[in-house]
């Protein structure tokens, strides 16, 4: 079991001291400055959670917040103290100390989970802390039914129910930005809201896999500061500082600053990752009912590009050492990106809300790397390809809606109407060279190939590919009876993709254009008893595809989903339970060509796909999340997915599963217990444990397979005092050897991490 640091201990210690000093020094500057800027009386709260100098409007807002929450006056953990003084009702999880949420914001109406007739899970800030989750990939691995398939350069493919998932950022849908895309440090997010299944109403054109809504942290009205530093196996270092509070004594302007950074090696040789993230947000409370929010985020990374391990000619495992690295050690990916965002919200006196949100993100990616395209197993030699790629991406998005109650015949109904716009511009080019063009790339030792970094094929052709989509959506929640609600809605979508060869100056070619595509939605929720509801829903899905085959871009796929289930809400909203069944039918689904060819797309360096005639995904999901007993939190789920090709141009594939790296059975468990009464905040021990188990899977080539595996994790925590926590996480307790992702015969096969540890010191002020 590999629980010690890897090597380079002296350099790791120096880096630990350097990064620790830098972040704690930064935290001290901001903490000290903010503490001096804030009025000393702001920290003294009255019993009803209103500051000593609160205005009448603030007192009203605080009273509204108190009536909305169901948490006891005594916080269950030190983090729970920071929720006092929040201005408005929301679904914020930061500071609640809970795994459950008050509401979900991705449906715009702020409904509770048991009021939504679809499968929705929320990963809270508290669970992120308990499990010491620092990346989006690690966080999504904890969400029921979600598969995370890494690509060896800090990016991943995210799937659910056999389909890819799409992103939203504070409720604004985005074309791209999730699949094979760099992500910001998880420290900037309050929660991840995940809807499994089609989300055509709010996402627009998207896959039936569902949506991930990344909800950023917002400023608090009272001063809070938090800093943490982590160190673990393979020189894995991470640090973060988070400062928030009022910028004016009146609390009309509040702000928040989050700084995070990581510097790490990997369990496999020659690979390294370093990244820095900075996030700042300011809320201006123009009136007690109107808030303007502005945010900016930036990140820089430098990551080794590792294309994974090969397999035998028959697809079997070569049983290589887990620290094996295949390819040149100079391969890299850099993806600096920044994002600007803004939001204006107004709350009317009659319960209506109006919100306008916008975002602008730019990512500039450069890649230079090598990968295998043939292998002589006995000699451990092979032929390599050197690839060079440049991708500039510009994302622009806006979402506006109004929602509120309407009473008809004494019944309370809710109405939502809105629209959004999403623009994605990609300027890209790529080139590659293989052994047939450069003999020095042939017959090389796969573990230590002598390949000069000067072999960098020139990019001679660049393409400009804009995608624009817009839509008008609406939804209504009708109270048929006190215990029976009908949800009706849908969207009209407009989509266009075109491209041009900017190197040759040719005009745009409109490749895909769809106008006025409807995606209706219908759901029914019946409260059998106050704490248990049954639901059924139907929705359409419309997905223009970015995948290319040898003859060009694939046509859009169309589908429908039928879903039903039960949801329970127990222990005063502290425990949520759900049981779901679903069935999805889709046509023209893109499936990776099994020969592993990478000569498709406009640049001729992309993975090749083909369209299946008709596919089906069906299954069941069960989830339990929340607090079972005082101090005992749990998040457990089981998902069953049966995806199959019903009709295909290749008849031999009919009846087979189509989704690579998508297990039929998937079980996830995390549980955490705190050995103290809620009011005790000194000398408190806590323990946590987790298990992930999944059935057999296959890769992008069907002959590449692996069987069932189970991975267990554990955690021990010690709260020294209200301001200081020490946590040690141990992952893969049994040192299980498994593949976290499967590819083809030559690349995209990645072992899971061996046994390792991470120790964290966290301080709250």
Pairing of strands 337-347, 290-304: antiparallel
* pLDDT attached to residue 219: 96
Q: Say how far apart CA 87 and CA 219 lie, in whole Å.
A: 10
Question: Given a cut of 50, is residue 382 above it in pLDDT?
Answer: yes
Contact by Cβ (8 Å): 749, 213: no
| Residues contacting 555, CB < 8 A, separation 6+ | 512, 545, 588, 611
Question: Given a cut of 90, is residue 316 above it in pLDDT?
Answer: yes
Name the E strands within 648-683: 665-674
Q: Name the more confident of 262 and 378.
A: 262
Question: Given a cut of 70, is residue 38 above it in pLDDT?
Answer: no
Contact by Cβ (8 Å): 678, 72: yes
- Tell me the CB-side half-sphere exposure of residue 491, using CA atoms within 13 A: 26
Question: Given a cut of 70, is residue 562 above it in pLDDT?
Answer: yes
Q: Which two tokens stand for residue 293?
A: 């929010």
* pLDDT attached to residue 45: 29
Q: Say how far apart CA 355 and CA 401 lie, in whole Å.
A: 6
* pLDDT attached to residue 61: 37
Question: Which residue stretches of 197-295 are H helix?
Answer: 200-203
Which of 568, 630, 578 shows the shortest CA–CA distance to 71? 630
The residues facing 627 across adjacent strands are 633
Q: Say how far apart CA 639 and CA 210 lie, in whole Å.
A: 15
| Residue positions counted in the chain | 765
Tell me whether residue 397 is exposed, middle or buried, using C-beta atoms within 10 angstroms of its C-beta: 0 to 12, 13 to 18, 19 or more. Answer: buried
Q: Say how far apart CA 557 and CA 537 lie, in whole Å.
A: 21
Q: Of all helices (H) and strands (E), which one includes residue 65?
A: helix 56-68
* pLDDT attached to residue 274: 96
* pLDDT attached to residue 529: 95
pLDDT in tens, 566-621: 999 999 889 999 999 999 998 876 767 766 667 777 767 677 877 777 899 999 99
**Could you write out the DSSP letters of every residue in 593-656?**
-TT----BSTTS-BPBEEE-SEEEEEEEEEEEEEEEETTEEEEEEEEEEEEEEEE-SSGGGTTS
Q: What is the DSSP letter of 547?
A: -
Contact by Cβ (8 Å): 757, 731: yes
Contact by Cβ (8 Å): 741, 661: yes
Q: Which two tokens stand for residue 656?
A: 């087979």
- CA dist 147 → 611, 663, 670, 741 (Å): 22, 9, 16, 10
Q: Average pLDDT of 664-693?
A: 95
Which of 470, 469, 468, 466 shows the shortest CA–CA distance to 499? 466
Question: Given a cut of 50, is residue 56 above it in pLDDT?
Answer: no
Q: Name the more confident of 40 and 24.
A: 24
Q: Name the more confident of 555 and 160.
A: 160
Name the E strands within 377-410: 381-408
The residues facing 488 across adjacent strands are 476, 522
Least confident of 72-76, 276-280, 390-394, 542-546: 72-76
3-state secondary structure of 662: coil
Distance of CA 565 to the CA centre of its chain: 25
Q: Which two tokens stand for residue 283?
A: 């809320």
Question: Given a cut of 50, is residue 60 above it in pLDDT?
Answer: no
Q: Say how far apart CA 640 and CA 624 lie, in whole Å.
A: 15
Q: Of all helices (H) and strands (E), which one includes residue 28?
A: helix 9-37
* pLDDT attached to residue 574: 93
Q: Say how far apart CA 525 and CA 706 lie, in whole Å.
A: 40
Q: Average pLDDT of 404-413?
A: 91
Q: Name the more confident of 163 and 84.
A: 163
pLDDT in tens, 643-652: 999 988 778 8
Residue environment code for 504-522, b if the CB has 16+ CB neighbours within 10 A, otherwise e: eeeeeeeebeeeebebebe
Least confident of 96-110, 147-161, 308-322, 546-560: 546-560
Q: Say how far apart CA 389 and CA 21 lie, in whole Å.
A: 37
Q: Average pLDDT of 189-215?
A: 91
Q: Say how far apart CA 283 and CA 219 lie, in whole Å.
A: 7
Contact by Cβ (8 Å): 241, 197: no
Q: Say how far apart CA 425 and CA 420 lie, in whole Å.
A: 17
Q: Average pLDDT of 742-746?
A: 95
Q: Average pLDDT of 383-403?
A: 96
Least confident of 43-47, 99-103, 336-340, 705-709: 43-47
Q: Which two tokens stand for residue 465?
A: 């590919």
Which of 719, 624, 634 shows the shortest CA–CA distance to 676? 719
Q: Say how far apart CA 760 and CA 18 lie, in whole Å.
A: 16
* pLDDT attached to residue 635: 97
Question: Given a cut of 70, is residue 4 above it in pLDDT?
Answer: no
Please provide the average confidence, as pLDDT, over all residues in the chain.
86
HEC letters along 128-194: HHHCCCCCHHHHHCCCCCEEEEECCCCCEEEEECCEECEEEECCEECCCCCCCCCCCCHHHEEEEEE
**Could you write out the DSSP letters of every residue in 315-384?**
S------TT---S-TT-EEE--EEEEEEEEEEE-TTS-EEEEEEEEEEEEEEEEEEEEEEEETTTTEEEE
Q: Which two tokens stand for residue 296?
A: 């900016």
pLDDT in tens, 564-581: 999 999 998 899 999 999
**Could you write out the DSSP letters of every residue in 207-221?**
-TTEEEEEEE----S
Q: Of all helices (H) and strands (E), which one includes residue 126?
A: helix 125-130
Q: Please report, for the chain, how many H helices and E strands are present, in that order.
A: 5, 40
Question: Given a cut of 60, is residue 192 above it in pLDDT?
Answer: yes
Tokens 């945010």 identify what position?
295
Q: Which two tokens stand for residue 90?
A: 């929301």
* pLDDT attached to residue 596: 61
Q: Which two tokens stand for residue 555?
A: 């046509």
pLDDT in tens, 472-524: 999 999 999 999 999 999 999 999 999 999 999 899 988 888 888 899 999 99
Least confident of 27-41, 95-109, 170-184, 436-450: 27-41
Q: Which two tokens stand for residue 178?
A: 């999730």
Question: Given a cut of 50, is residue 746 above it in pLDDT?
Answer: yes
- Tell me the CB-side half-sphere exposure of residue 721, using CA atoms within 13 A: 3
Q: Say how far apart CA 106 and CA 172 lie, in whole Å.
A: 9
What band does 184 get if pLDDT is binned at 50, 70 and 90? very high
Contact by Cβ (8 Å): 684, 78: no
Contact by Cβ (8 Å): 491, 473: yes
pLDDT in tens, 421-464: 999 999 999 999 999 999 999 999 999 999 999 999 999 999 99
As a 3-state breakdown, the chain gives helix, strand, coil percent values, each rounded to 5, of: 10, 50, 35
Contact by Cβ (8 Å): 425, 174: no
Q: Which two tokens stand for residue 758?
A: 């991470």
């Amino acid at each position: 079991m590999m629980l010690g640091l890897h090597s380079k201990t002296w350099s790791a210690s120096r880096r630990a001291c350097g990064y620790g000093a830098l972040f704690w020094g930064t935290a001290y500057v901001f903490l000290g400055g903010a503490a001096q800027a804030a009025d000393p009386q702001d920290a003294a709260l009255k019993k009803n959670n209103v500051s000593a100098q609160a205005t009448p409007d603030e007192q009203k807002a605080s009273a509204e917040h108190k009536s909305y929450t169901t948490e006891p006056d005594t916080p269950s953990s030190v983090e729970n103290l920071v929720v006092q003084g929040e201005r408005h009702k929301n679904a914020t999880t930061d500071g609640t100390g809970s795994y459950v949420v008050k509401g979900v914001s991705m449906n715009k109406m702020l409904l509770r989970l048991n009021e939504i007739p679809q499968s929705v899970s929320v990963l809270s800030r508290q669970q992120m802390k308990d499990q010491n989750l620092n990346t989006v990939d690690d966080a999504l691995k904890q969400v029921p039914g979600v598969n995370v398939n890494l690509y060896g350069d800090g990016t991943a493919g995210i799937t659910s129910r056999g389909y890819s998932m799409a992103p939203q950022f504070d409720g604004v849908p985005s074309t791209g930005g999730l699949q094979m895309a760099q992500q910001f440090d998880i420290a900037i997010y309050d929660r991840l809201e995940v809807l499994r299944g089609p989300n055509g109403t709010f996402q627009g054109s998207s896959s039936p896999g569902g949506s991930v809504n990344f909800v950023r942290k917002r400023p608090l009205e009272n001063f809070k500061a938090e800093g943490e530093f982590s160190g673990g196996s393979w020189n894995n270092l991470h640090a973060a500082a988070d400062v928030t509070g009022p910028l004016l004594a009146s609390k009309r302007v509040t702000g928040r600053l989050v700084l995070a950074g990581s510097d790490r090696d990997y369990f496999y040789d020659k690979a390294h990752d370093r990244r820095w993230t900075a996030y700042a947000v300011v809320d201006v409370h123009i009136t007690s009912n109107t808030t303007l929010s502005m945010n900016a985020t930036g990140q820089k990374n430098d990551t080794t590009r590792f294309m994974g391990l090969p397999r035998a000619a028959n697809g079997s495992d070569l049983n290589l050492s887990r620290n094996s690295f295949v390819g040149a050690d100079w391969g890299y990916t850099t993806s600096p990106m920044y994002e600007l965002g803004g939001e204006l919200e107004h709350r009317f006196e009659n319960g209506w809300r109006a919100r306008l949100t916008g975002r602008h993100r730019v990512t500039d990616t450069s890649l230079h790397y090598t990968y295998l395209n043939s292998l002589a197993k006995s000699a451990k030699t092979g032929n390599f390809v050197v690839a060079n790629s440049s991708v500039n991406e510009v994302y622009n998005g806006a979402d506006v809606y109004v929602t509120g109650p309407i009473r008809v015949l004494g019944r309370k109904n809710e109405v939502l109407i809105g629209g959004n716009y999403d623009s994605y511009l990609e300027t890209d080019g790529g080139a590659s060279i293989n052994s047939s063009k450069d003999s020095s790339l042939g017959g090389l030792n796969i573990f230590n190939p002598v390949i000069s970094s000067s072999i960098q094929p020139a990019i001679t052709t660049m393409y400009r590919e804009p995608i624009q989509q817009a839509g008008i959506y609406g939804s209504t929640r009708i109270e048929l009876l006190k215990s029976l609600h009908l949800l009706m809605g849908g969207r009209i979508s407009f989509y266009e993709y075109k491209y041009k060869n900017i190197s040759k100056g040719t005009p745009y070619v409109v490749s895909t254009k769809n106008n006025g595509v409807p995606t209706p939605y219908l759901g029914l929720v019946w409260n059998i008893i106050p704490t248990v509801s049954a639901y059924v829903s139907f929705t359409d899905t419309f997905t223009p595809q970015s995948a290319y085959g040898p003859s060009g871009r694939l046509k859009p796929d169309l589908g429908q989903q039928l879903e039903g289930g039960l949801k329970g809400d127990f222990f005063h909203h502290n425990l949520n339970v759900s049981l779901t069944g679903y069935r999805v039918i889709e046509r023209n689904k893109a499936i990776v060509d099994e020969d592993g060819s990478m000569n498709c797309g406009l640049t001729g360096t992309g993975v090749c796909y083909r369209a299946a005639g008709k596919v089906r995904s069906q299954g069941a999901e069960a989830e339990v999340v929340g607090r079972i007993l005082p101090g005992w939190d749990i998040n457990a789920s089981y998902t069953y997915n049966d995806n199959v090709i019903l009709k295909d141009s290749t008849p031999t594939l009919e009846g087979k599963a189509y989704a690579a790296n998508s297990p039929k059975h998937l079980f996830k468990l995390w549980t955490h217990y705190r050995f103290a009464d809620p009011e005790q905040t000194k000398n408190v021990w806590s323990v946590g444990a987790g298990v992930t188990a999944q059935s057999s899977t296959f890769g992008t080539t069907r002959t590449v397979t692996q069987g069932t595996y189970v991975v267990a994790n554990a955690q021990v925590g010690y709260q020294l005092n209200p301001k200081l926590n020490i946590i040690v996480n141990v992952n893969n307790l049994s040192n299980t050897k498994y593949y976290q992702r499967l590819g083809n015969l030559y690349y995209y096969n990645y072992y899971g991490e061996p046994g390792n540890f991470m120790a964290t010191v966290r301080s709250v002020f």
